[in-house]
Amino acid sequence: MTCTAAGGNPPPSSSPSGTPNTSPSPSTSTSQPPATGCNGAAFCDGFESQTGSTVSGAWGLSYRDCQGTGTATVDTTVAHSGSKSVRIDGKAGYCNHVLVKPTKDLSGLGSVWYARFYVRHSTALPAAHVAFAALRDNADAGKDLRLGGQNSALQWNRESNDATLPAQSPAGVAQSRPLPTNTWNCVEFMVDGRGLLSTWLNGAAIPGLTVDGVPTPDIDQQWLATTWRPQVTDLRLGWESYGVGDDTLWFDDVAIGASRIGC
């Protein structure tokens, strides 16, 4: 199944284009969780300054290619902190994708991005591919790096060639984690322009969602089959479902910075 067929264009070739990346050292996943809060993040917002049902000010809506029935609204009845969050009524189908994104220009943040957000959702991740976060990668022709799920567990996906992290083999999926429903989850990740990636769920590193620069079967071997040096420039949160899979999600306390922010 491809997740990139919406525009009718076939995914680019993913044939290996050189030696797998083995140079960076896998040192980032050992960092200690710092204190809670914004912790010096370049962007940090919990929707408390929102005044209407449609996001404004620090947040904007993103419908990248087409707009359907997916909605994003400020919710004053559910919150991780304070009294507000953003609610996503996510619907299946490409044109129903809806995301919110900081209006602040974060393109100058640097080559290493850390993000922390809280997400609460209603329906377990489906077998089909879905995403709840997307980052534009200027080093990948502006295509998205996507965090979501497949085979009922969390995964990263590259829009450009449909590479997944972990590989969607049973052994790979077993190295990921489900995203618990009906509770606030703290999701953290780190994307390093040298080609490294780490992911934490509620403070615990997820082995299958780690690119450490050393190709590992079932985890990042496929991911590293093509050179990957991401230059991310934004973060969008919401819902993308490429085949089947509705969900209702809430996001709160979103922070983006150059060092780990913590839960």
Residues contacting 30, CB < 8 A, separation 6+: none
Q: Which lies closer to Ca ion via its Cβ, residue 38 or residue 258?
A: 38
Residues paired with 100 in a beta bridge: 61, 237
Q: How far apart (Å, rounded) are the C-alpha atoms in residues 245 and 126?
A: 6
Omega prior to 170 cis, within 30 of 0: no
Closest contact distance (angstroms) between CB of 84 and Ca ion is 5
Output 46 or 149, the one with its CB closest to Ca ion.
46
Closest CA to 34 of 261, 259, 258, 251: 261
Residue 236 C-beta: closest distance to Ca ion, Å? 18
Residue ranges binding Ca ion (CB under 5 A): 46-47, 79, 82, 84, 252
Q: Shortest gap between Cβ of 250 and Ca ion (angstroms)?
A: 9
Residue with smaller CB distance to Ca ion, 84 or 177: 84
Beta strand segments in 107-235, E: 112-121, 130-137, 143-150, 153-158, 164-165, 185-192, 196-201, 204-205
* 47 vs 132, beta carbon nearer Ca ion: 47
CA distance 235 to 73: 18
Residue 38: CB minimum distance to Ca ion, A: 13
Nearest distance, CB of residue 34 and Ca ion, angstroms = 20
> Could you tell me the CA-to-CA distances from 151 to 87, 167, 178 in Å, in that order?
24, 11, 9
Q: Name which of 78 and 124 has its Cβ closer to Ca ion.
A: 78
Q: Give residue number: closest CB to Ca ion.
A: 46
Q: Tell me the closest approach of the beta carbon of residue 212 to Ca ion, in angstroms.
A: 34
Q: Which pair of structure tokens corresponds to residue 137? A: 């990668």
| Residue nearer to Ca ion on the CB measure, 120 or 136 | 120
